[in-house]
């Protein structure tokens, strides 16, 4: 998964600094609103809301914007009503895709997603058609090398992580969803610096393709994530660190 994580880290940094920042803030605001509506506006009680607030802060979203989005969710401020929808489908070459969306217009969302998939050699699937290929896990990513990475890995294991991988300057810490909060809070107390911490969908097995085909699907995933209603895209594509480097060079 290190290629996935490296690519995700690059995309997060890019999204926080380039012209898409406005769209990024809009998507995070929607997520704050929906999460507050579902679990309340207190991040000490609503752990999922705390994760989204952390994401908003990492993207340099202002405190006022965060608070307004939460108040829309709790009903203190009037706003649009968004719903969470999960779409499943396939990219070209049989790659499995899961798309999590937050939208105020279900018809628009599905039409736009279907158009992007079809135009790029993919298709929408039925509910449940690909989720069985993934496991839900907590994932914490730390950027570190050498002895520091080994030390962070040991701390994560002591905190209750069930899998830790070190590769290409990244420490990937996996947990069962039920243990994610405990592991994250333990590492926070120990001063461990995260690049990201989230509940995610991890593929059970990966689909390996050639570099050209892999980059083709990476372009599709970026296009899907650029769609206004799509919050997150998961795939079972095997993305090596070398392909990520080629992708970055191509985009430069």
| Cβ proximity of 237 and 210 under 8 Å | no
Residue 93 within any structural domain of the chain: no
Residue 66 maps to which CATH number? 1.10.10.200
Question: What's the pLDDT at 190?
Answer: 92
Residue 37 within any structural domain of the chain: yes
| pLDDT tens for the chain, residues 1 to 252 | 666 777 777 676 666 665 466 788 899 999 999 999 999 999 999 999 999 999 899 888 999 999 999 999 999 998 888 999 999 999 999 999 999 999 999 999 999 999 999 999 999 999 999 999 999 999 999 988 888 999 999 999 999 999 999 987 889 999 999 999 999 999 999 998 888 899 999 999 999 999 999 999 999 999 999 899 999 999 999 988 888 888 876 765
Residue 14 within any structural domain of the chain: yes
| Cβ proximity of 21 and 34 under 8 Å | no
Residue 167 within any structural domain of the chain: no
Question: Total structural domains in the chain?
Answer: 1
Residue 96 within any structural domain of the chain: no
Question: What's the pLDDT at 245?
Answer: 81
In SS3 terms, the chain reads as CHHHHHHHHHHHHHHCCCCCHHHHHHHHHHHHHHHHHHHCCCCCCCHHHHHHHHHHHHCCCCHHHHHHHHHHHHCCCCCCCCEEEEEEEECHHHCEEEEEEEECCHHHHHHHHHHHHHHCCCEECCCCCCHHHEEEEEEEEEECCHHHHHHHHHHHHHHCCCEEEEECCEEEEEECHHHHHHHHHHHHHCCCCCCEEEEEEEECCCECCCHHHHHHHHHHHHHHHHCCCEEEEEECECCCHHHHHHHHHHHC
Residue 22 within any structural domain of the chain: yes
Question: What's the pLDDT at 208?
Answer: 93
Domain that holds residue 15: 2-74
Residue 60 within any structural domain of the chain: yes
| Cβ proximity of 152 and 108 under 8 Å | no
CA atoms of 110 and 7, how far apart (whole Å): 26
Residue 57 within any structural domain of the chain: yes
| Cβ proximity of 110 and 124 under 8 Å | yes
């Amino acid at each position: 998964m290190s290629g996935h994580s490296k690519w995700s880290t690059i995309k997060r940094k890019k999204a926080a600094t380039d012209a898409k920042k406005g769209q990024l803030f809009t998507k995070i605001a929607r997520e704050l609103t929906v999460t507050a509506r579902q679990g309340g506006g207190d991040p000490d009680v609503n752990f999922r809301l705390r994760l989204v607030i952390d994401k908003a802060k990492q993207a340099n979203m202002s405190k006022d914007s965060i608070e307004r989005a939460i108040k829309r969710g709790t009903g203190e401020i009037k706003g649009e009503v968004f719903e969470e929808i999960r779409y499943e489908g396939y990219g070209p070459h049989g790659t499995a895709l899961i798309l999590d969306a937050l939208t105020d217009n279900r018809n628009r969302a599905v039409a736009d997603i279907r158009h992007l998939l079809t135009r790029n050699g993919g298709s929408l699937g039925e509910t449940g058609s690909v989720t069985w290929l993934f496991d839900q896990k907590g994932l914490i990513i730390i950027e570190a090398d050498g002895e520091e990475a080994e030390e962070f890995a040991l701390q994560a294991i002591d905190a209750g992580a069930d899998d830790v991988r070190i590769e290409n300057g990244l420490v990937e810490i996996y947990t069962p969803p039920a243990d994610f909060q405990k592991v994250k809070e333990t590492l926070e107390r120990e001063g461990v610096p995260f690049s990201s911490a989230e509940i995610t969908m991890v593929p059970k097995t990966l689909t390996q393709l050639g570099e050209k085909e892999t980059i083709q699907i990476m372009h599709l995933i970026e296009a899907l994530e650029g769609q206004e209603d799509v919050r997150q895209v998961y795939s079972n594509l095997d993305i090596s660190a070398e392909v990520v480097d080629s992708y970055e060079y191509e985009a430069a």
